[in-house]
Each structure stands twice: as C-alpha cells, then as structure tokens.
Amino acid sequence: IGINEISINHPMREQQVRKAIALAMLNQTFEVYYQPIFSVKDESFVSAEALVRLRDPMLGFISPDEFIPLTERDGTITKLGMQIFEMVCSFLKHSQLNNMGIRYIEVNLSVVQCMQSNLIEQLSALIKKYKIRPDQICLEITETVAVNTPEVVRRLFQELDQQGMSFALDDYGSGYSNVNYILELPFNYVKLDKS
C-alpha cells in the first residue's frame, strides 16, 4: 500500500473531506468544468460533459474519485447533483454555445439520484427557471446504474425523453458489457470505457 492510499483511506482524511464537501455545498463553491466532445462525423466540437471539481482551502484539490463516493454513501449526492445541474442550466442560459456549435451538455446522474421520486420534477423546474430547451441537456449514467436499476432508469428516461432530453451511457464495457440493456433503454449515445 502506497502512502497516498493510506492517507485517502484514513478515517481522519475522510472526516476532513466530508467537512470540505459540507463547506463547499453550503457556500456553493463546487466548480464545473466543461470537457468538450468532438464529433468525428461533423469534424467539430458538438457537446461538452460537465465535470464537478472540489478545491478546499485547507486540503487543496480533492479528486472526484474520493468525494463522489462519500456523497453517494451519505445521500448528499442528491443535493450536490441539483447544485451541479443548476450551474449547468445557468451556464447554458448565459453562454452563446449555439454560436460555437455546442448542441448540448452532458450531466451525470448517480444511482442515488435516479432513485429519487421527485427527480423529474426537480430537473424540469430548473430547466423552466433558466428558460433553456430540454434538448440542450443529455443525462449520463454509468453502466452500473443501468444494470442495477433498469426499471427505474426506463421510467425516468421515458418521461424525460418526452420532454426532449437525450441520454448517454458512460463506462460501457467496464464490467457488465451486456448489449441487451443498451437495446432496451433509449440511449442516444454510448461511451466506451477506456479499459
């Protein structure tokens, strides 16, 4: 075990990161970076993926691989997810992405968020608040979410598809690689896992 693994898994470190998460949520200081996505077919950038980042005054940069699992375990991912979604909606409203050829932004949903009974209402309310088009949003879930909660995902996607949102499957091939659920769920995009 390396020194980094010891420090990350140490209970004191977890407590510090939890405090950093709580502070960032309270002050709304999570950052969103937009990773452009290039279309080989169109020979241009056509979308971007919203990536959440956390920098703490005391701890510095905290990797999403470290803080996202903590928010999923204690349920704060639902509040964080809505903060990120609202930041994306605001960005879409106040930027001129159409002029740059960017058609939509991909926003990640965790399994915990997908299980929320009022998720659709929350997403729809923010889209209306910022007066953006639903087709400017692509909701992205991982292969794990799709395989473990197919009925929940199917219901969620059916309702949001009617509003005009699109859907992406991330990390395909990371473990399950079952083609059946790809065909059964209305994914517009499938992203292969780098492995």
What are the pLDDT tens digits along the chain (195 aa)?
444 554 556 789 999 999 999 999 999 999 999 999 998 899 999 999 999 999 999 999 999 999 999 999 999 999 999 999 999 999 999 998 888 889 999 999 888 888 888 999 999 999 999 999 999 999 998 766 766 777 888 888 888 888 899 988 876 666 655 666 666 777 777 777 676
Tokens of 145: 């979410």
Note the pTM of the prediction, 2 decimals: 0.86
| Separation of alpha carbons 3 and 16, rounded Å | 17
Residue 117: predicted pLDDT: 87
Separation of alpha carbons 106 and 119, rounded Å: 17
The dihedrals phi and psi of 3, each to the nearest 5 degrees, come to -65, -35
Q: Are 173 and 195 in contact (CB under 8 A)?
A: yes
- pLDDT given at position 188: 75
Query: Going by C-beta distance under 8 Å and a sequence separation of 6 or more, which residues neighbour residue 122?
Result: 82, 85, 116
Residue 9, pLDDT score: 60
CB 52 within 8 A of CB 74: no
**Contact status, residue 52 vs residue 64, Cβ threshold 8 Å:** yes
Q: What is the C-alpha separation between 135 and 33, in angstroms, rounded? A: 20
pLDDT confidence of residue 115 = 84
Q: What pLDDT does residue 3 have?
A: 47
pLDDT at 173: 63
